[in-house]
Structure 1
Amino acid sequence: MGAGSGTEEPTLPVASVARRLGVAPSTLRTWDRRYGLGPSRHTDGRHRRYGSSDIGRLELMQRALLSGASTAEAARYALEQMPRSGPPQPEERAEPREAGAVDDGHEVRSRLARRLSTAALAMDVGAVQRMLADTIAELGVLPAWTGVIEPVLSALGARWRGASAGAEVEYLLAECVFAALVRATPVLDEPRNTRPVLLGCVPEERDTMPMYALAASLAGRRVGAQLFGVPLPAEVLAVAVRRSAPAAVVLWAHRRGVADTRLFARVSRGRQRSRLFACGPGWDPAGLPDKVELLTDLPSAADRIEHVLVGGRR
């Protein structure tokens, strides 16, 4: 027990906490010195003791470490989930700012990306879901996608690609992102466009998530879209276009090897003419037919589609 009355919260010395967590006392002292994950209580003899919240943070850190996070990532995750009271801890301490200075957009995106990455590495589904919802609410769908979500997905994919262990982090995050984008897509009772824009992916394309982000952004502008998130065979896509008679068709391709420009001839047959757009880095601009317009990125794609269909924002 700590010094003082019997009503005080029980505390433990470093040796007891080390045994409880299965680590060396020197490891706890290092985590305290480097990351601020140390005890917050002192006895009269100035021996520092761990309270329940201190131990809770260490248990969160250990869980993140076991899930594959680095020590710094695990410490940051623990402090984000259970913030300490009082002044910033060693590696949390911010650089002094000039009076009136504010965080720029890059700093905000970097902070949100770090928090999302550490939550994903800890396999904490609840924290990932909250982070995605907060990021989309704070930045908007497409800024959240381009500045935070897609970079984190790419970084985790590169980190674990080809490894038998760790890929589950990427899959978990992808599932949470898919759900978050669907939730961020309002159902439109009265869209501004009378005919929808059809959003699809070229056959064999595996990276389909950007179309969900684009659909959510368009719905936020009250532009109705018909989304096929699963890549359709060319003949099925052509039938879908004929039956829905969209005002525009947007075909996404991330990889050059799967983007076939002949697909546009397949979907443009029939009486109903639609504006045709090729979206994504997989398209070769030089090989596109004259009637197909290239959309290089999602923000410009959302602006251009809105302008073509309804004449711009209201």
Structure 2
Amino acid sequence: MTFRAGLLLTLPLLAVAETAEMLAGVVQEHGDSGVIKVMRQPLPSPGPGEVQVQIAYAGVNFIDIYFREGTYASTLPLVPGLEGGVVQSAGPGAEVWLGRRVAFVHKGAGGAYAEFAIVPAARLVPLGSEVELRDAAAVLLQGLTAQYLVDDTIRLQRNDTVLVHAGAGGTGRLIIQVAKLRGLRVIATVSCKEKAAVAQAAGADEVIISDYTTFASEVLQMTQNKGVAAIYDGIGNMTFLQGFSCLQPRGGMVLFGASSGFPRSVNLDVLAKGSKSLVRPTLFDFIAQDAELRTRAAMVMGWVQAKQLKLQTTILPLSDAAEAQRRLQSRETTGKLLLEVRRPEASSEL
């Protein structure tokens, strides 16, 4: 029998995988955060073009909530989660990744709320030795989101003013920082004084403390009634329509998420007043090609390595997966929330 180079290294793990188990945060039915149960599951094995990643940290992101609630379609049971770890075994065609430190983002529920996840090798992002696994998990998904939102959704000029909702959240903090790297003036909204300090530390020029029902008048006051060139809105229903009243002519509304629910309807007349634009982008359309994913990721990781992005993380154990999602959805958190699955020093880095 002839083996492909590197395939023999995976055979012992593949054989053990038939009986071995791992801990995973499993969603067996759609519902609130309480449906996530941490339990033992069969250890998965990689197929052709796939790798098995020993997870160090799983990011807790709103996409996980959308899968849990059924907003995004997926087969149940599912294990949510993306972000980083060490490749422990590889299927045919992916042997080159064995032992490498990686982060990952791909369509689907993800599988990172677990000790091991199966990931398409094409969607792996290699990590340099200068980037810690914790930082990679804290920045990959939300950093990619911030980069494409600022650089590729609305045409902006240096010194333009933009509005970032939920500026103390994981994505909001990074949008602020990328916008400042691009020479933009940033107004951020937050819900309380403590979060205002977080947004200011991220680089926001002005911060509005608001219940998100009256922010437009303050934005207009801060801009001498000119309005802002772009709004980055991940809140949705609560903020969406009001935002158009503080967009300047030819400004753009970027609705990239909906933590308060998706807007029920859009009257196109709000766009006609001032020739405004509306974009409803999703990250996966901007990283659809593997090369594009890695180009954007290299930019984000370069910012991390150069310390141009300030990361703020809260770390909980995998056993608290349900609590982590509850905190994120209730907007109690600032910065990025991570689940520590396995300490990096306990991982086999070959």
Q: Which has the higher contact order (CA 8 A, sep 6+)?
A: 2
Greater C-alpha radius of gyration: 1
TM bucket (normalised to shorter chain) is 0.3 to 0.5
Structure with greater helix share of residues? 1
TM-score by length of 2: 0.31
Relative to total residues, which structure has the larger strand share, 1 or 2? 2
Q: Normalised by the size of structure 1, how large is the TM-score?
A: 0.33
